[in-house]
Amino acid sequence: MTTPLRISEVRKRLSQLVERVACGGAPVAISRYGRERALLVSAEEYRRLKTSTRRAKPPPTLEGTLTLECSPEELIAESRRVGDFWVASLDLAKRKQRRSSRK
């Protein structure tokens, strides 16, 4: 791909650039404030990219890969214990912060 064209240049040459990419030319990078912001591609290339994206595999998940080694009740109890511990630590941090701001 070539150096990105500034938007002002693309405006001046839009008709020519559209014709070029439509006839199989390379995509045209468009920049704004020195950073690439968009790409002008043919309709055919866009459809191809969109189709290949749809066919892509979904991201992997952890679903079905974990085995529970305790009862659901034990898991819930442990989750509550950890949650209570976390809330208590936040309360302690707030108290310490108040004490230090009084000094």
Q: What CATH number is attached to the domain comprising 14?
A: 3.40.1620.10
Q: Are 51 and 43 in contact (CB under 8 A)?
A: no
Amino acid 103: pLDDT:
62
41, part of any domain: yes
Model pTM above 0.75: no
* Residue 5 pLDDT: 95
**How many separate domains does the chain show?**
2
Q: Is residue 40 a contact partner of residue 18, using CB atoms and an 8 Å limit? A: yes
Closest CA to 44 of 25, 17, 28: 25
Are residues 36 and 9 located together in one domain of the fold? Answer: yes
| 9 and 49, same domain (yes or no) | yes
Tell me the residue range of the domain where 15 lies.
5-54
Is 63 part of any domain? no
Q: How far is CA 25 from CA 17, 43, 49, 50, 55, in A?
A: 9, 12, 16, 19, 25
pLDDT per residue rounded down to tens, the chain (103 residues): 578 999 999 999 999 999 999 999 999 999 999 999 999 999 999 999 888 877 777 777 777 777 878 888 999 999 999 999 999 988 888 887 777 776 6
